[in-house]
Chain A
Amino acid sequence: MPMVQIENLDIVFGNQKMESLRLLDKGLTRPEILARTGDVIGVQNATISVEEGEICVLMGLSGSGKSTLLRAINGLNKVARGRCLVRDGERMVDMAKCDEETLRHMRTNRVSMVFQSFALMPWMTVLENVAFGLEMQGVSKKEREERANKQLKMVGLYDWRDKKPDELSGGMRQRVGLARAFVMDSDILLMDEPFSALDPLIRSQLQDELIELQKRLKKTIIFVSHDLDEALKIGSKIAIMESARIIQEDVPEQIVLNPATEYVEKFVAHTNPLNVLRGNALMTPLAQMAQLDGLFHVSEHLALDIQDGALKGASSHGHDIAISKWEDGMDIENMPENSVVLAPVGISMRDAVEIRYHTKMPMVLQDNGQCAGVLGDHQFYHALLGKHFSRAS
């Protein structure tokens, strides 16, 4: 059972929802409907499901409807049509149709939210802010202070608990926002561009902290972002939105490798592939390489002797070159220089580039012990220049 399941969801802002939906079904575009009825289509026919423990990133430019879709999940935005199911124990609650009492139960116990501009209550202390949701849960004062303090220790703000939010820096304030959401112990977290208002260093630091927290807490997170790098870094799944619709939904690597439309491609072109791409997407498969005298000539300086999927030897102008093996987690600094490295195909591009930099040699990638392809400068440049789109080629 998924944690969140959204089916054919439409969100309309305005007074003539029925008419707008009718026009939408007739295939009119967003601006056309705005001109006819004055209504704004927030989300159009969105379908997506998020499994337990996933971080699903809704990505798109501002106005693409990503925050609107997010706010449907805890009922802050009214759904015009479709279903927005959120798991509660063994049942799925439709946030679009449930009564006030159920909605409140879901908000206090199942779904917590982190806001872009923090949305901390300026008249409350840090501790009171973190305990705010617990107060709504009806937790006793003593227990909520205990739990809030514990959460504040986790985000490293225990010493700041008696300060007011305006005495804190932006990064600290968002840590309070995170603590306020985490302290609720709800399984689902909604994050509306939580790090967008922070400067880049703090942003990446908080992203790392979130990834660390997630490793321990295993929440189901739905994260809104306009930054594909951020989405690729933290997302286990990415849904890209453009003018109210989800246009592509996939794992990060596939988004980068197979952008569905030009719009996605533009996003991808500006990302850093180092964090996303893996060896199997980068390498040139052996099957595509020419053989000469039974050797694979990777460059004019390197020939590989590969038989039945096993690397028998490597040579440069008749001199033998050492072969070494690298596994995930091994120290790259200790790899012997001037050796051809055998690495698994799942190697990240960052590791591969580092190995290449250190050994000064192309690498051979193995899939289940079988040599699968070659990874060298040419392949790296190809990826860095964004020429790896299957769509563009």
Chain B
Amino acid sequence: MNWLTEHKLPLGDTMETFVNWLIDVASFFFDFISVTLETLIFALVDGLEWMNPFAVVAIVLALVWWLHRSVGMMIFVAAAFLLIMNLGYWQETIQTLVLVITATMISVLVGVPIGIAAAHRPLLYTVLRPILDLMQTIPTFVYLIPTLILFGLGYVPGLISTIIFAIAAPIRLTYLGISKVPNELREAGLAFGCTKAKLLYKVELPAAMPSIMAGVTQCIMLSLSMVVIAALVGADGLGKPVVRALNTVNISQGFEAGVAIVLVAIMLDRICKTPNSKAEG
């Protein structure tokens, strides 16, 4: 067996060389991304923290009413926010919300067009599928290391890791939604004179919308599930107290932060579920 172990393939070394090469060649690029994203996140966090917490809650409640017209849901959201404030996690909740929403927005902005392109080009999806599988199965900590090196400590590596983990959902579900558009609807669109662009905007996207929205909701949930891991590389938010509680074996702090995360998760999930996708539920 020695011959097998003696000549170890330099798999890990190659990767390391590659990451180092990236830093050498493109560090300004990663710095640029890092600074841009960090500025964006800080601006959002500062803005929301500057506002009166009750004003923020009021805005969210108005949003709930506008989307769902449900008094019950409004009561739940209000109660959840009050509990979070009472536990003293308001600031962390804002930070987490900003992280999750930014990650979701970037994932959707990048993922939906990729999903559309993949649905129109079968070859692209064949190439894409193993990459998506890889992104979802590879343990998060593994790519946490290079993102940490490339983007430095703080929000940005957490954000990038979150996107890597969560972006597969909008890509897959957009792909699925667009591929599942009944051929007759496409034919009807064409028969009445759609151009390719109009076919996409007037027929394919609206027809795929329930599926795409499911992708967005999933993306939010996946992003939220990354908050603790993001905290490990220095992203502020509800993950921080969990990590701290873990290090100090602090049951009460861990539980409280956990409850806050769960409440945020339920709120986001309920708010994002499209009202007319009852059949989907």
Contact = CB atoms under 8 A, between A and B. Distances in A.
A113 B193 contact: no
B19 interface: no
A74 B195 contact: no
Contact of B187 (A111, A112, A119, A132): A119
Contacts of A76: 187, 190-191
Contacts of A115: 184, 187-188
Residue from B185, B188, B193, B194 whose CB has the most chain A CB atoms within 10 Å: B193
Contact of A119 (B188, B193, B194): B188
A184 B192 contact: yes
Nearest to B210: A123
B69 interface: no
Interface string B178-215: 00001011011011111100100011001101000000
Contact of B191 (A105, A113, A122, A124): A113
The binding surface of chain B is classed by DSSP as: helix
Interface string A102-124: 00110110011101110111111
Contacts of B198: 136
A136 B206 contact: no
A137 interface: yes
A136 B198 CA distance: 9
Contact of A137 (B193, B195, B202, B203): B193
B266 to A, nearest CB: 28
Contact of A133 (B184, B192, B195, B209): B192
Nearest to B182: A119
Given A115-B187, A119-B182, A119-B185, A104 B209 contact: no
Given A104-B195, A113-B191, A119 B184 contact: yes
A133 B193 contact: yes
A107 B191 CA distance: 6
Given A76-B187, A115-B187, A121 B207 contact: yes
Contacts of B188: 113, 115, 119-121, 132
23 contacts: A76-B187, A76-B190, A76-B191, A104-B193, A105-B193, A107-B190, A107-B192, A107-B193, A108-B192, A112-B191, A113-B192, A119-B184, A119-B188, A120-B188, A121-B185, A122-B207, A123-B206, A124-B206, A133-B192, A135-B202, A136-B193, A136-B198, A180-B192
A93 to B, nearest CB: 14
> By CB atoms of chain A within 10 A, which of B188, B194, B195, B209 has the most?
B188
B206 A108 contact: no
Interface of B: 182, 184-185, 187-188, 190-195, 198, 202-203, 206-207, 209
A112 B187 CA distance: 11
Nearest to B276: A123
B274 to A, nearest CB: 11
Contacts of B192: 107-108, 112-113, 132-133, 136, 180, 184
Interface hub of A71, A122, A136 (most chain B Cβ within 10 A): A136
A111 B190 CA distance: 11
Given A121-B185, A121-B188, A136-B194, 8 more contacts: A76-B190, A113-B192, A116-B184, A120-B188, A122-B207, A123-B206, A123-B209, A132-B188
Using C-beta atoms within 8 Å of the partner chain, give the interface range for chain A. 20 to 34
A116 B184 CA distance: 9
Contacts of A123: 206-207, 209
Point out which of A104, A105, A124 has the most chain B C-beta atoms below 10 A from its C-beta: A104
A123 B202 CA distance: 10
Contact of B206 (A117, A119, A121, A137): A121
A123 B277 CA distance: 12
Q: A-B pairs with the 3 shortest C-beta distances?
A: A108-B193, A133-B192, A119-B188
A30 to B, nearest CB: 23
Nearest to B209: A123
Contacts of A108: 192-193
Contacts of B190: 76, 107
Contacts of A111: 191
A119 B202 CA distance: 14
Contacts of A133: 192-193
Specify which of B192, B202, B206 lies most central, judged by the most chain A CB atoms within 10 Å of its CB. Answer: B192
B140 to A, nearest CB: 37
Contacts of A122: 207
A107 B182 CA distance: 20
Contacts of A124: 206
B279 to A, nearest CB: 10
A299 to B, nearest CB: 57
Contacts of B193: 104-105, 107-108, 133, 136-137
A124 B194 CA distance: 16
A122 B202 CA distance: 12
B276 to A, nearest CB: 9
B184 A121 contact: no
B194 to A, nearest CB: 6
Contacts of B182: 117, 119
Interface in A316-362: none
B55 to A, nearest CB: 35
Contacts of A135: 202
Contacts of B187: 71, 76, 113, 115, 119
Contacts of A121: 185, 188, 203, 206-207
Nearest to A115: B184
Interface string A140-161: 0000000000000000000000
A136 B209 CA distance: 21
A115 B209 CA distance: 23
A93 B194 CA distance: 19
A136 B199 CA distance: 10
B191 A117 contact: no
B46 to A, nearest CB: 39
Interface string A165-186: 0000000000000001000100
Nearest to A106: B193
Contacts of B207: 121-123
